[in-house]
Chain A
């Protein structure tokens, strides 16, 4: 279980105060207007934001004192997830050993992770030679080899075509089920994710305004703010 309890971040022009519970192994879609604090919430969970109050717990363990490297989470950004001078397999290998000195077993793990995202034929390619979707799949493969149980996706598929976006979401869902991951994914088009999400959290003005099953939260009339966001 991931639990945010009044997790507070303050900037001169923005204050976020998040309270949210996500069951273990669930996929939570985080929706809301731009600038509402979705990205800040994910980055705070990953340990990249200066938290001034509240707690983040995962499996009963408080993460607040841990640096990003020791937190049980992997974060995928919308862009720049890969190092441009390293091949696809080297970028994945970073998740195991940053100095890239892998054993045979570890090489096998990298190949397996790339195969699980259907990139077994692209292992030697540089990020510049891959499509946008392929680059994000490499980043997903790296998250898999890191074997961290909490996967945070900060609109990683936002720049992809609708068809590709849906197939990436399906792939993420498959990997979540295979590896027992808990997933938080910010997304702009809720209709892309309703078929796989267990939970939808609506974040606006730095607060989780509503959270619950998709068919409840996204139902017209549930909340005027969500209706306005959905254009209902």
Chain B
């Protein structure tokens, strides 16, 4: 059987993809290292790899705001999820669920717009407060950042926790009823085990998001005092055009973030799963008067905090006609092209990596290879997009224009940033399919595309559609990497929205925000029902 021997010596396409992925990461690091050949602190003093006092300050402030945002988001999101789990039927529950979903997928720039519109100087909250004789602090600064992060992440926590709580076996709720569980017993035996399991992964993920936050800090930070490392890299690249300093900060950030990811994987925490069903279950403690009041308070508070921000995009309804111009059309087309490219890249990479992880001898998966690939994908979480793009841009510098580099790097980096989430949608069903049918497929001699079509496709078509929609939604709303390359010929909808906000054309920005949220919610609807 020489033909089959020859075929078996060829590396699996997924292994080539994994090698390509690692090469991109290494290339980014090489680019950073070459630019930062003489690594120095932002103040210009040679300081080796040790962070300068400036960087130490940035890390301290970023860690503080990220920690605060994480704790508040976890507490509020979990309380909201518990309240919604206990209240399985009340008027408006489905509306609240829709707001949670919309807030989870709304692009960052839209949340910023909402926070400024609702909590900004002339927004309804400060106006109402002043009528009551209260003076609220300006939105720009640490509290603005934390507020935006809490508004962004509370719905995420609520969605993950609702799915996890709904996955508790129905029998446990019935046992609670039979065993006369009090409210406290319900929390102790039904809820706490779920919280204890979900919080480490959620906390690490949210901390990482807030610690590397860019758009929120740039827009609401109110100056360099609250900068994160991402903002510092952006300032070094875009404002000071100092590649060496950007590289040194990026290298420092990679080390920090990879450390967090390593801790993340050591505690065995996984990426938060937002795909769980959020169905309500009958609860033994639903009748408690005290909990009814607490739940009403929690739902009311969360809704008052989140809903106005999400609904602020409705200010754009009156300006929908402003969308009918060449600028918006071009930005929309650019966004769609970049999102489609990013989605195709992310899903193709995830599929190749997942099939490589599952292709072992005799139709069985190879645990070591699977673990290695899982770790490589997880490592992307620790690779800040700006660090990645900075390294790659340094390598491309002089070869292509800024816009040309953007056209390549924006979808590539967006795809890589979406990859951990997309991989999580695709790898588990493929793994399950291999466990169930791997040996049968091997015994029938099914390999390559035939195996993919006959064995994997039936279980993968829905996750693939969901993955395409999710990665497209993430890319459509991106206002990170595009901030570096945007302008001139390369303008996306989030970039255009930020420009309009900067020019105080708030209603027109609202119209773009409405378009962005509608697209994101539409794509999520497809992803959820795929």
A, B from the same assembly: yes
List residues of chain A with CB under 8 Å of any chain B CB: 46-48, 67-69, 74-75, 77, 79-81, 83-86, 94-95, 98-99, 146
Contact sample, A vs B, 16 pairs, CB 8 Å cutoff = A48-B174, A67-B177, A68-B174, A69-B178, A69-B179, A77-B171, A79-B169, A80-B172, A81-B171, A83-B172, A83-B193, A84-B193, A85-B193, A95-B179, A99-B182, A99-B188
Minimal beta-carbon separation of B106 from chain A (angstroms): 36
**Segment 441-490 of B: residues with Cβ below 8 Å from A:** none
Q: Is the CB of A46 within 8 A of B169?
A: no
Separation of A80 and B189 alpha carbons in the complex (Å): 13
Separation of A74 and B175 alpha carbons in the complex (Å): 9
Among candidates B170, B178, B193, residue contacting A68 with C-beta atoms closer than 8 Å? B178
Separation of A227 and B205 alpha carbons in the complex (Å): 59
Q: Is the CB of B178 within 8 A of A46?
A: yes
Minimal beta-carbon separation of B187 from chain A (angstroms): 11
Is residue B528 contacting chain A, with contact meaning CB distance below 8 A? no
Separation of A99 and B188 alpha carbons in the complex (Å): 9
Minimal beta-carbon separation of B186 from chain A (angstroms): 9
Q: Is the CB of B181 within 8 A of A98?
A: yes
Q: Is the CB of B193 within 8 A of A94?
A: no
Given A69-B177, A85-B193, 16 further pairs, Cβ under 8 A: A46-B174, A46-B178, A48-B174, A69-B179, A69-B284, A80-B170, A81-B175, A83-B172, A83-B175, A83-B189, A84-B193, A94-B189, A98-B180, A98-B189, A99-B184, A99-B185
Residues of A close to B174: CB separation below 8 A: 46, 48, 68, 75, 77
Q: Is the CB of A94 within 8 A of B184?
A: no
Q: Output the nearest chain A residue to B181 by Cβ-Cβ distance.
A: A98
Q: Output the nearest chain A residue to B169 by Cβ-Cβ distance.
A: A80
Separation of A146 and B174 alpha carbons in the complex (Å): 15
Among candidates A46, A48, A84, A98, residue contacting B179 with C-beta atoms closer than 8 Å? A98
Separation of A81 and B172 alpha carbons in the complex (Å): 7
Interface residues on B, range: 10 to 19
Separation of A60 and B184 alpha carbons in the complex (Å): 35
Q: Output the nearest chain A residue to B284 by Cβ-Cβ distance.
A: A69
Residues of B close to A98: CB separation below 8 A: 176, 179-182, 185, 189
**Shortest 5 CB-CB contacts between residues of A and residues of B:** A80-B169, A80-B171, A98-B185, A69-B180, A68-B177
Separation of A95 and B178 alpha carbons in the complex (Å): 9
Separation of A84 and B284 alpha carbons in the complex (Å): 19
Q: Output the nearest chain A residue to B186 by Cβ-Cβ distance.
A: A98
Known A84-B193, A86-B189: A75·B179 in contact at CB below 8 Å: no
Q: Output the nearest chain A residue to B184 by Cβ-Cβ distance.
A: A99
Separation of A163 and B182 alpha carbons in the complex (Å): 39
Separation of A179 and B452 alpha carbons in the complex (Å): 58
Residues of B close to A48: CB separation below 8 A: 174, 177
Name the residue in A77, A86, A98 with the highest tally of chain B Cβ atoms < 10 Å from its Cβ.
A98
User: Can you list, as one digit per residue, whether each of B144-172 has a CB less than 8 Å from chain A (1) or not (0)?
Assistant: 00000000000000000000000001111
Minimal beta-carbon separation of B22 from chain A (angstroms): 36
Residues of B close to A85: CB separation below 8 A: 189, 193
Residues of A close to B185: CB separation below 8 A: 98-99
Residues of B close to A95: CB separation below 8 A: 179
Separation of A46 and B178 alpha carbons in the complex (Å): 8
**Segment 186-209 of B: residues with Cβ below 8 Å from A:** 188-189, 193
Residues of B close to A86: CB separation below 8 A: 189
Minimal beta-carbon separation of B268 from chain A (angstroms): 15
Separation of A15 and B457 alpha carbons in the complex (Å): 38
Residues of B close to A146: CB separation below 8 A: 179
Q: Output the nearest chain B residue to A146 by Cβ-Cβ distance.
A: B179
Residues of B close to A84: CB separation below 8 A: 193
Minimal beta-carbon separation of B30 from chain A (angstroms): 46
Minimal beta-carbon separation of B133 from chain A (angstroms): 46
Residues of B close to A77: CB separation below 8 A: 171, 174
Minimal beta-carbon separation of B175 from chain A (angstroms): 7
Q: Output the nearest chain A residue to B175 by Cβ-Cβ distance.
A: A81
Q: Output the nearest chain A residue to B173 by Cβ-Cβ distance.
A: A48
Residues of A close to B179: CB separation below 8 A: 69, 94-95, 98, 146
Q: Output the nearest chain A residue to B190 by Cβ-Cβ distance.
A: A83
Q: Output the nearest chain B residue to A148 by Cβ-Cβ distance.
A: B178
Minimal beta-carbon separation of A171 from chain B (angstroms): 21
Separation of A80 and B179 alpha carbons in the complex (Å): 15
Separation of A45 and B171 alpha carbons in the complex (Å): 15
Residues of B close to A99: CB separation below 8 A: 182, 184-185, 188
Q: Output the nearest chain A residue to B171 by Cβ-Cβ distance.
A: A80
Separation of A67 and B180 alpha carbons in the complex (Å): 10
Separation of A84 and B184 alpha carbons in the complex (Å): 18
Q: Is the CB of A75 within 8 A of B178?
A: yes
Name the residue in B169, B178, B179 with the highest tally of chain A Cβ atoms < 10 Å from its Cβ.
B178
Residues of A close to B175: CB separation below 8 A: 81, 83, 94
Minimal beta-carbon separation of A119 from chain B (angstroms): 19
Q: Output the nearest chain B residue to A74 by Cβ-Cβ distance.
A: B178
Minimal beta-carbon separation of B504 from chain A (angstroms): 54
Separation of A95 and B185 alpha carbons in the complex (Å): 12
Separation of A231 and B503 alpha carbons in the complex (Å): 80
Separation of A225 and B362 alpha carbons in the complex (Å): 46
Residues of B close to A80: CB separation below 8 A: 169-172
Residues of B close to A81: CB separation below 8 A: 171, 175
Residues of B close to A79: CB separation below 8 A: 169, 171
Separation of A81 and B169 alpha carbons in the complex (Å): 9
Q: Output the nearest chain B residue to A95 by Cβ-Cβ distance.
A: B179
Residues of A close to B178: CB separation below 8 A: 46, 68-69, 74-75
Minimal beta-carbon separation of B453 from chain A (angstroms): 33
Residues of A close to B170: CB separation below 8 A: 80
Residues of A close to B169: CB separation below 8 A: 79-80
Separation of A79 and B175 alpha carbons in the complex (Å): 12
Residues of B close to A75: CB separation below 8 A: 174, 178
Separation of A75 and B188 alpha carbons in the complex (Å): 22
Separation of A94 and B172 alpha carbons in the complex (Å): 12
Minimal beta-carbon separation of A55 from chain B (angstroms): 20
Minimal beta-carbon separation of A29 from chain B (angstroms): 22
Name the residue in A74, A75, A94, A146 with the highest tally of chain B Cβ atoms < 10 Å from its Cβ.
A94
Minimal beta-carbon separation of A144 from chain B (angstroms): 14
Separation of A77 and B178 alpha carbons in the complex (Å): 12
Minimal beta-carbon separation of B122 from chain A (angstroms): 51
Q: Output the nearest chain A residue to B176 by Cβ-Cβ distance.
A: A98
